[in-house]
Chain A
Amino acid sequence: MFRRVAIIGIGHSKFGVRQDVNVNELAFESIKPAIEDAGVDKRDIELMVLGSVGVWYEEPLPVVSIAEYCGLSGVGLLRTEAACATGSAAFFTAYSAIASGQIDVALVVGVEKMREVDTLTAIELMGRAGCYLWEFHNFGITFPAYYALHATAHMAKYGTTEEDLALIAVKNHKYAAMNPNAQFRKPITINDVLSSMVIAWPLKLYDCCPITDGSATIILASENKVREFKVDTPIWVAGIGYSSDTVNLSKRSSYVGLYPTVRASQMAYRMANIEPKDVELANVHDCFTIAELMAYEDLGFCRKGEGVKLIRDGEVEVDGKIPVNVDGGLKAKGHPIGATGISMIAELAKQLRGEAIERSRQVAFRKYIALAHNVGGTGHYCYVTILKR
């Protein structure tokens, strides 16, 4: 029998262009508050799992470097990579180590320093993150282009419009303006989105998440440690699901959704013994506006092709039927690839504790169930994590 695991501490850095700090210092910004929030001593930590894709910053062994900087050398160290789902993969790894009985307390940190290289190099590195040989080498595909291929297919099949996608950007910028950790703090209009420059048609600048530096940390503990530490409001991991898809987009049979999201969420719902309608808050993977729209459908918040209704009718707002990304999402809070999954889960834990900093974006829970949906690449990886207070 697997042991129950709870989130007992969270920490979050300011997201944005953070050339004022190096990777160690940026990780410290979330590790310190997470340890303080958990009320544990750093000597209680047995395993540190880092989620970081790297390549855009100078340290090839970042987890060793961060552990030394934070006085944690000696603990078990591990780094995960699952593209933009790296953070959730790190979380899953630490969760599993505790659930299996191997350890009792783990620190999961996600950090990315993407702004130490110039923008075109960052675009190059992300574009190669699919199948380099058959999709990048001759055809120069970019990360926005991967999702643009999905947007075109969705628009052709369901009549989704560029205006519909713009509504998602407007919503997420609105909530980012209420989140002090967000990269963008200014509300935008539909016209701002529609008139912004085309990046990969039909996606425009404001349909795309920014390139971000940031870190987030979570402390996880076993049930007996939760009792021993007398944790006030443990947030329990109720379900985790995962799946993947082919590296070549051309090997897939449909471009109007991401099958790994369907499979991973069904697995997580089953483990948590809930249905999609029980979810009261979701942080979904909105690296592009089309990605959020597909997530509504693939997570089962509505039927396939009907995602636009949720955004048009305001059902994904903080007071709607299923609030989505009321921290600004990747779209406006920012997307430091390895930190994103941890940031999503930490944000949900904060909401479930009723501690959203601005009351304007605090969700009113009844069942206290929240879901994080983290996609790596273009559905190359997917992790869904369900939390319960």
Chain B
Amino acid sequence: MLTIPTLKSKPINLSYDIPISRTKQFWDGLKEGKVLATKCKKCGTLNFPPAADCPNCYSSDIEWIPLSSEGEIETFTHVIVKPQSFQEYEPYTIVIVKLKDNVRVLAWLTDTLIENIKVGMKVKLQVKKSQEGVLTYEFTPI
């Protein structure tokens, strides 16, 4: 095959320091084994992912409450071709689950065989440590 001539650009290494001051309770909650959402004290809207400012009424007066841990799978996929930064992982299953408190959460589903996974299946949400040793949350079958 003919090689097409190209010029190598200067490399760039991009990594962002993502501010989490206003959602610190969420990250602290993981350390206590809790997955927390925000609830607006003014209009009562429950938000997950947590939001320091209520997208509904714009109030910043919020409280942190644990999500209900049980729910049903609404949809799922098995990721076989992974992005560059997930090359160290085995293929994984991503699910979107509707929890009992009517909030949906996207996360991995672990501890089950692919052939057992179905839309409508009951699962529970829990805090886990990732392969890289970082706290995260995942679903497992009930």
A interface list, Cβ under 8 A from B? 19-20, 58, 116, 120-121, 123-124, 127-128, 131, 133-136, 138-142, 144-145, 148-153, 156, 197-203, 248-252, 255
Other-chain residue from B18, B83, B96, B136 in contact with A123 (beta carbon distance below 8 A): B83
Flag if A123 contacts B81 (CB, 8 Å).
yes
The answer to whether B136 touches A141 (Cβ under 8 A) is: no
Q: Answer whether A148 and B77 are a contact pair too, CB < 8 Å, given A120-B83, A127-B83.
A: yes
A201–B78 touching, CB < 8 Å: yes
Contacts A124-B83, A124-B85, A250-B96 given; indicate if A201 touches B77 (C-beta within 8 A): yes
Residues in chain A near residue B18, CB distance under 8 A: 133
**Whose C-beta in chain B lies nearest to the C-beta of A135?**
B106
CB distance from B39 to the nearest CB of A (A): 16
* A58 vs B76: C-alpha distance when bound (angstroms): 36
Q: How many A-B residue pairs have CB under 8 A?
A: 105
Kindly state whether residue B21 has any CB partner on chain A within 8 Å.
Answer: no
A-side contacts of B33, CB under 8 Å = none
Interface size on B, residues (CB 8 A): 37
Question: Which residues does chain A contribute within 8 Å of B87, judged by CB atoms?
Answer: 120
* B3: nearest chain-A partner, CB-CB: A19
Interface residues of B in 93-142 (CB under 8 A from A): 94, 96, 104-108, 114, 118-120, 130, 134, 136-137
Q: Output the nearest chain B residue to A204 by Cβ-Cβ distance.
A: B80
Residues on the B chain within 8 Å of A128, using CB: 83
Interface contact A200-B80, CB-CB below 8 Å: yes
Least Cβ distance of A134 to chain B in Å? 4
Using CB atoms, name the residue of chain B closest to A57: B9
CB pair B9 A250 closer than 8 Å = no
List residues 6-35 of chain B with CB under 8 A from any CB of chain A.
6, 9, 18
Question: Given that A58-B9, A124-B84, A153-B119 are known contacts, is A139 also in contact with B75, CB under 8 Å in the complex?
Answer: no
Please pick, from A20, A120, A152, the residue contacting B77 in the complex, using a CB distance under 8 A: A152
Q: Are B106 and A19 in contact (CB under 8 A)?
A: no
Whole-angstrom distance from the CB of B83 to the nearest CB of chain A?
A: 4
